[in-house]
Structure 1
Amino acid sequence: MEPMKYLEELVIRYPVLASVKAEIKEAYEILENCYENGGKLLIAGNGGSCADAEHIVGELMKGFVKRRSVSQEFAQKLLEADPVRGKELADKLQGGLPAIALTGHPGLSTAFLNDVDGNLIYAQQTYGYGKKGDVLLGISTSGNSQNIMYAMAAARAIGMKTIGLTGRDGGQLKETADTAIVVPEKETFKIQELHLPVYHALCLMLEERFF
């Protein structure tokens, strides 16, 4: 299936998302360009959006709906690296699209919270991990989460592209991200219910493109 067919299918299944179809396509193109050029995706969110960040990593870093077998060349290198374990590695390892959720580093996060400023934890991680050509995806149902906004500023300074995934009126995130997907809902849980099919579609489109 062509990547864009997943987008068409998304809008058929969730007609309410037709209003953000163009923004989803723009987000996909930003991510496609990032991965084509050897970049990675950083993802930040709070609460349910924190869980979404981890969920996205799970879909990108291993097979989603496809088996992402390693190349024959890499399979041979694994056998050469370890004749005992190489075949099992070659059979079971899967291709990944580099993605890091800025949510699962409690040692760093609590140290920065205690020593510096909790609002800047995601900005610090963005500064530490990010490089020009990478992408930061900030997820905020209100569009006004301050720790996300600080991370967005750090990403722009580095030369990263930024994507916002939000709701309501888009808030500050809509005004600052390179592209913002503002799902047409007002209540937090309803916004989150629409975020999932959006990022699933993006992950499916990327998997189709690269695997």
Structure 2
Amino acid sequence: MNIQEEKAYKELTILEDRYPVLKAVHDEVWEAFSIMRDSFLKGGKLLLCGNGGSSSDSDHIVGELMKAFCAKREIKPELATRLKELYGEQEADYFIKHLEQGLPAISFSSQTALHTAFSNDQDEALFYAQCLLGYGKKEDVLFGISTSGNAKNVGFALKLAKAMGVKSILLTGKDGGTGKDLADLSIIVPSRETYQIQELHLPIYHSLCLMLEQYFFG
């Protein structure tokens, strides 16, 4: 394990210290981190979708990845140099001071205009699959969230991901539902109550965001 991985792993141990119940998904959380890390290293992006309250979680994750979360994320030196060449020291410094390096992530639930246009003409349950078809590349990762694992819209996206050769992760609960057999990796939190599952999802995805931030920017 290199230094970057050690920093990421420390965030996982902190998660388990705070939420001992999540030791049950230790291996799955580490594997999810590894899948997303490898995707970003290849120039891929994280594509997220969730049903109901979980759609808000997918938006939340984008907010933690696309800007600084807990670590400083300075823009790349070569970009800073180019800004100075183009616009001079003073304006370049404004960009450098206020911009933060991001890890590319898109939440399908935020595509409001596309959602209404597609749903007016086609089966709304396929909306997330439509987004994946338009955005998805083989180096990307699809991250689906469904408390039961049975959300049709998330399930269709997982099916299409398999056909497209896009790796997929499902964050779920209960017994994993139908989605657990569709995703390449399922993180099934140990609860059967919807609201409790959602309460356990948040520290997991916060931890994953922290692990990725520590790996790439720590």
Instruction: Tell me the TM-score normalised to structure 1 length.
Output: 0.97
**Which runs of structure 2 are paired with 1:98-137 in the superposition (5 Å)?**
98-137=104-143
CA distance in 2, matches of 1:123, 1:198: 25
How many correspondences in the alignment? 211
Is 1:91 aligned to 2:117, yes or no? no
Report the alpha carbon displacement of residue 157 of structure 1 after superposing the two structures with TM: 1.5
CA distance in 1, matches of 2:30, 2:178: 21
CA distance in 2, matches of 1:72, 1:134: 26
2:73 is matched with: 68
CA distance in 1, matches of 2:141, 2:80: 30
2:16 is matched with: 11
Gaps of 5+ in 1: none
1:2 is matched with: 7
- Please list the CA deviations of residues 13-68 of structure 1 after superposition, one character each: whole Å capped at 9, or x if unmatched: 10110111111111111011101111000000122101100110011000000110
CA distance in 2, matches of 1:95, 1:117: 37
Report the alpha carbon displacement of residue 174 of structure 1 after superposing the two structures with TM: 1.1
Structure 1 residue identity aligned to 2:70: V
Instruction: Tell me the TM-score normalised to structure 2 length.
Output: 0.94
- Please list the CA deviations of residues 114-153 of structure 1 after superposition, one character each: whole Å capped at 9, or x if unmatched: 1011000000000000000110000000100000011111
Structure 2 residue identity aligned to 1:151: A
Moved over 4 A (4+): none
Structure 2 residue identity aligned to 1:62: K
2:3 is matched with: none
CA distance in 1, matches of 2:135, 2:76: 27
1:34 is matched with: 39
Report the alpha carbon displacement of residue 71 of structure 1 after superposing the two structures with TM: 2.4
RMSD: 1.1
CA distance in 1, matches of 2:87, 2:131: 34
Give SS of 2:82's match: helix
Identity %: 51
Of 27, 30, 50, which residue of structure 2 is paired with 1:22?
A: 27
CA distance in 2, matches of 1:123, 1:182: 22
Report the alpha carbon displacement of residue 81 of structure 1 after superposing the two structures with TM: 3.0
- Please list the CA deviations of residues 154-200 of structure 1 after superposition, one character each: whole Å capped at 9, or x if unmatched: 11121110000000000011111111000011111100000000001
